[in-house]
Chain A
Amino acid sequence: MNPVTTSFTDPVLARYLALGAVLFVIGLVGFMTRRNMIMIFLSTEIMFQGVAVNLIALSRYWHNADGQSFVIFLLTVAAAEASLALGLVVMLYRRRQTLNVDMWSDLQG
């Protein structure tokens, strides 16, 4: 049996991976359906966390610290990115007095 098959059939790991996948899909659906720019941004953060959960779960499963340390970096980057994105959202709000992303569709064919 090869390791890939093993990892997905392991019952404990499978639950964590499922949690990660659920988080990711929730974020994805939110990203695709929401119009509020802050909500869209939050959806991307949720997708992020889904990925982070996956990383930690697999890291634990393989007894390898790489994944967990990588998540530390990931969260740092996410924090920096969050501040930047929120700053941009504030700038956009000041321009048009709205958070509706559909108001920003000037670049189109």
Chain B
Amino acid sequence: MFHLTEFYSWAGQLPPSQKACFLAALIPLFPLAAMVIIAACGGKILKKHSHVPAIIGVAMSFVVSLVLLLLFSTGILGEVMRSAYHISFATWFSAGALHVPFGVYLDPLSVLFISFVTGISLLIFIYSSGYMEGDYGYFRFFAYLSMFVAAMTILVLANNFLLVYLGWEGVGLASYLLIGYYYPKNSARDAATKAFVVNRIGDTCFAIAIFMIYLTFHSLNFANVFYGPLQSASFRAAHASMMFWIPLLLMFGAFAKSAQFPLHVWLPDAMEGPTPVSALIHAATMVTAGVYLIARCMPIFMHDLPVLHLVGIIGTFTAFMAATIAMCQYDLKRIWAYSTVSQLGYMFMGLGVAAGSAAVFHVFTHAFFKALLFLSTGSVMHAMGGELDIRKMSGLARRMPITAVCLLMGALALAGFPGWAGFFSKDAILSAAMNSAWSGGPWLAVVGLITALITAYYTFRAFFRVFMGDLVLPRTAGLHEPSVFTLPADTDHERHADAGGHDNGPSGHDAHSADHQGRNTSFDGPISMWGPLVILAIGATTVGWLGVWGGHGDQGWIQSFLSRVPMNAGLRYVPTPPAGLPLPVTAVQRLSPAMGMTIGGTLAVLGILIAFYFHWVNRHAADIVKSALRPVVTFLENKWYFDEIYHYGLVMPLWFLGRILYGLDHVLDGIVVNFFGYFPQFVGWILKPTQSGRLRYYAIGMVSGLVFVILGVLYLLR
């Protein structure tokens, strides 16, 4: 029997670090409980209050995360927690020598991740309660969202690879369900399938990597893998091929989840889900998982520099490629989607030059400004009746001032404008690349700087097009986004009556009457929508300063907070667990930080100025340039033809193979399978006459059988 008092006295004797681990174990449980509650009583009892358990759940997780952040950043319990603490609560399953526990791994990396994951998710949940109001399947949406966050927190907090894999698959499933949330739409279903299939490629690689880790280290716990025999050079030499394949496969797993070339194709299509889902995927829960995985496994990567450099090269290439594609897209969400791919490329560039702190810093700032950009875009979409084509709208700043200012803050952060969040984190990555001991690092930095210029340009191209210039509203402006769910008339009416402050009948209003309404009720939407935007805007504006202020010496708070996590070049010493973690990567000094910031800031301002001229002052000039560069623009508008290449290079051959195997299957069916069907029929046809229904024949059968047996016995006893 369980005695609470005994538990308290036992828990009271634990050191603070273990108390923190117990606390951390609560974090996934809150959203998980919310998911169960919403799934169980959302449809019948909660209905349009389904967001309440979800928001409470993630808010409680956020509070716990903040407590952990306090524990790790201040000496509030008398002990500044800076190292890694891990604890296993229970055995998930055992098979032979393999014991997989439920356990928590706490170090500054996981604490920082868990804080912004739950924090950003909380804001997105609040926003969703306004954005999705009255939508069919409201409770389903919040159940999925809670599951998404629960899976992500499991992924981040797990203390062994298999538990990470559980969370990894959980976010994959949740993203599939949410991208396909509007399942009556073909495009939504296709996008969900695409995301799932592309992710499976990475998941398979990750799974094989886990098998190899177990074969090599005979354990899946982080502590045993990273701080065990990995540290001995003779062990690494004995397992040289494993030490190559494990990081390589982990890399592919991370690349699928974090949408890097060549597995990036699913992310831009993932915007088929509702906009808050895009925000969640792009900012907090999904794509950051790949970065987390590589940052977490940095001790392995650091012992195989070619693979680490490959991470950097592919990341840089992806950053450049996605940025060029984003220049020539017209769908606002698609632009932000490619910008996410591009920014993730930066993060992998940072990891590739062994600047884990810089990469994680960029994840952190990116979470703020990308959530902000997507949610602001959601507000635009909400107000414009589902229209997102930047060619069809202009000058919206007059109509939705709050949204415009918020989106401007996000755009400044994404563009890396001096002072805003993206500026500091991007600069940290680029200067780390520039100062990398690896000779390829500066080249990556140069490509990264070019990409920074492109980034500033495409970000403000979208902003100036949509919010500046003459007022142009699409025809659908002011209407509620048409529902894809066809429902009986009564529920349909109910849905429209609640739709976000714009009470439009099913007949719809034209732009003029929406215009008339717009004077009274701005397009900004209810406070549950613009409130989170304002908070995120403040975050996107300010969190960058954590990279330069607040740390020890000349370091920023982030750098000193993450300094004990073994993922940075030049780090030589980690106190616990076991002392001494030599990492073979060093740093050199090629460029002073001030110089790097100057160059990065200049490029950002330059990009903004180009966008300012072509997309606000003189939009006609943009058309002239566009027609002059027609082939390039077509190439970029078609996203480097990746979808086509995959379609004709992979999907079609597989489809043909499928047809061939289908035909082969028919042959097998006709001969082998049908034989097993016909043979018993044939036997039955032969034996059928014996069952005549005549009693006498049965009697004769019995007697002859008896005679046969007796004769047989007599023969044997002769």
Contact = CB atoms under 8 A, between A and B. Distances in A.
Nearest to A28: B703
A83 interface: no
B703 A105 contact: no
Nearest to B690: A109
A33 interface: yes
Interface in A17-59: 28, 31-33, 35, 40
A14 interface: no
B15 to A, nearest CB: 80
A80 to B, nearest CB: 22
Contact of A33 (B688, B689, B692, B696): B696
Contact of A108 (B684, B693, B696, B703): B693
Contacts of B687: 109
A13 interface: no
Contact of A109 (B691, B696, B700, B703): B691
Nearest to B698: A32
A104 B691 CA distance: 13
A32 B691 CA distance: 16
B693 A105 contact: yes
A108 to B, nearest CB: 3
A101 interface: yes
Interface string B680-702: 00001001111111111001100
A35 B699 CA distance: 12
Interface residues of B, number: 14
Interface in A83-107: 101-102, 104-107
Contacts of B699: 31-32
A105 B691 CA distance: 10
B693 A101 contact: no
Interface string A42-78: 0000000000000000000000000000000000000
A105 B700 contact: no
Nearest to B688: A109
A40 B689 contact: no
Contacts of A35: 696
Contacts of A101: 695-696
Nearest to B692: A108
Contacts of A40: 695
A35 B695 CA distance: 9
A33 B703 CA distance: 12
Contacts of B694: 102, 105
B684 to A, nearest CB: 8
A32 B689 contact: no
Contact of A106 (B688, B690, B693, B703): B693
Interface in B368-397: none
B708 to A, nearest CB: 15
Contacts of A106: 693
B707 to A, nearest CB: 10
A105 B696 contact: no
A107 B694 CA distance: 9
A51 to B, nearest CB: 13
B695 A109 contact: no
Interface in B454-472: none
B696 to A, nearest CB: 6
Interface string B645-679: 00000000000000000000000000000000000
A26 to B, nearest CB: 13
A28 B688 CA distance: 26
A101 to B, nearest CB: 5
A48 to B, nearest CB: 15
Contacts of B688: 109
Nearest to B699: A32
Interface string B591-627: 0000000000000000000000000000000000000
Contacts of A33: 696
Contacts of B692: 105, 108-109
Contacts of B696: 32-33, 35, 101
Contacts of A28: 703
A26 B688 CA distance: 31
Contacts of A32: 696, 699-700, 703
A40 B696 CA distance: 10
A29 to B, nearest CB: 9
Contacts of A31: 699
Contacts of B703: 28, 32
A17 to B, nearest CB: 15
Contacts of B684: 109
A22 B507 CA distance: 101
Nearest to A34: B696
Given A28-B703, A32-B700, A32-B703, A108 B691 contact: yes
A31 B687 CA distance: 24
A25 to B, nearest CB: 10
Contacts of B700: 32
A102 B703 CA distance: 19
Contacts of A102: 694-695
B687 to A, nearest CB: 8
A109 B689 CA distance: 6
A102 B698 CA distance: 12
Interface in B56-101: none
A54 to B, nearest CB: 15
Nearest to A32: B699
Nearest to B684: A109
A30 to B, nearest CB: 10
Contacts of B691: 107-109
Nearest to A37: B695
A3 B237 CA distance: 84
Contacts of A109: 684, 687-692
A109 B686 CA distance: 11
Nearest to A106: B693
A90 to B, nearest CB: 18
Nearest to B689: A109
A83 B696 CA distance: 22
A106 B696 CA distance: 14
Contacts of B693: 104-108
Given A31-B699, A32-B696, A108-B691, 18 more contacts: A28-B703, A32-B699, A32-B700, A32-B703, A40-B695, A101-B695, A102-B694, A102-B695, A104-B695, A105-B692, A105-B693, A105-B694, A105-B695, A107-B691, A107-B693, A109-B684, A109-B687, A109-B688
12 contacts: A28-B703, A32-B699, A32-B703, A101-B696, A102-B695, A105-B692, A105-B694, A107-B691, A107-B693, A108-B692, A108-B693, A109-B692
Which 9 pairs show the lowest CB-CB distances between chains A and B? A105-B693, A108-B693, A109-B691, A109-B688, A32-B699, A101-B695, A107-B693, A108-B692, A108-B691
